[in-house]
Amino acid sequence: MSQRPPAPPSLQELRKEIDAIDEGMHRLLMQRGDIIDRLIQVKQTQEVGSAFRPAREADMMRRIVERHRGILPLDTVESIWRVIIATFTYVQAPFAVHADISVSEPAMRDSVRFHFGFTVPYVAHFSAQAAVEAVAKSKGDLALVSATSSRTPWWLELEAEGAPKIIARLPFVERADHPAALPVFAISRVADSALVTEVETFSVRVSGWNAEIARALSPLADIVAVPDTAFDGAALLVSVTSASSIDKIKAALIEAGASVRSTALVGSHATRYTVPPTGSKS
């Protein structure tokens, strides 16, 4: 006689399993908090600088995306870990997020809450310039500004030595229907050892900028451009990878008829992790 298959677990049994997992996650978060408390004590004697660690965050998010599976949406996992990282960073060294809401206040607010949660203070500004200036005057705050458009060349404020720099480009996990899809740069002061330099961002001032030159450069780099009356041209924010160096951009500008007045490194960030529209990982 064949044995009957085991009876499926009851709802009560499954809910007990869920409760045990929930309790385990809570205990692990508290354990993480205990380690952070010890980390704070170590940092006071062994490390100087901001609590932001862009390179470590990028590596952590890549590992999370690579190992993720199952029915839980990746967006949810990304946001949970982002909030955990941001909150524990805030516990180590309190900071505020200064956000430029001139592009879209609802989209910028969604980006701040998705990446930083509700514990970190959110300060709205009506221009990127104001958000960057607020960070420059602060001890360890962070600014979020549009990564694709601007009314003013706010990045000129990042040229000076000791000024805040671009440290990240969000969202890191990128796809067409991302719930916090607004492309933004994160700006703050970070120790050189904590930076990730897969993509470097440069402030480039040129004379003779026009639409034809912009089209010629678009395949080589991501560029934000605004008029620069001082040079009768444009102020450019240029993002380049190792495959397309800033020297190639300068050469392309000159070949297209523009004059390069100055260049300055104003930050760097990790290469974004792009998820195809089908939802499969690449």
| Alpha-carbon span 234 to 229, nearest angstrom | 7
- Please state at what angle helix 74-92 crosses helix 54-67, rounded to 10 degrees: 150
pLDDT band at residue 50, thresholds of 50, 70 and 90?
Answer: low
Q: Quick check: 109 pLDDT over 50?
A: yes
Show me where the domains of the chain are located.
Answer: 16-46, 47-195, 200-268
Q: Which CATH number fits domain 200-268: 3.30.70, 3.30.9, 3.40.50, 3.40.720?
A: 3.30.70
Task: Report the pLDDT averaged over residues 39-65.
Answer: 76
Task: Report the pLDDT averaged over residues 104-132.
Answer: 95
Residue type, 213: I
* pLDDT at 201 (0 to 100): 95
8 Å CB contact between 206 and 253? yes
pLDDT band at residue 132, thresholds of 50, 70 and 90?
Answer: very high
Burial class (CB in 10 A: 0-12, 13-18, 19+), 155: buried
Task: Report the pLDDT averaged over residues 21-42.
Answer: 90
Buried residues in 173-202 as b, exposed as e (16+ CB within 10 A):
bebeebebebbbbbbbbbeeebbbeebbbb
In the chain, the largest separation of any two C-alpha atoms, in whole Å, equals: 92
Backbone phi, psi, residue 146, to 5° = -60, 140
Q: Quick check: 205 pLDDT over 50?
A: yes
Closest by Cα among 253, 199, 255, 249 to 231: 253
Q: Quick check: 178 pLDDT over 50?
A: yes
* pLDDT at 39 (0 to 100): 82
| Alpha-carbon span 46 to 52, nearest angstrom | 16
Task: Report the pLDDT averaged over residues 216-233.
Answer: 87
| Alpha-carbon span 266 to 263, nearest angstrom | 9
Task: Report the pLDDT averaged over residues 124-142.
Answer: 94
| Alpha-carbon span 270 to 282, nearest angstrom | 16
Over pLDDT 90: what percentage of the chain? Answer: 57
Task: Report the pLDDT averaged over residues 5-26.
Answer: 89
pLDDT band at residue 282, thresholds of 50, 70 and 90?
Answer: very low
Q: Quick check: 48 pLDDT over 50?
A: no
| Alpha-carbon span 121 to 102, nearest angstrom | 19
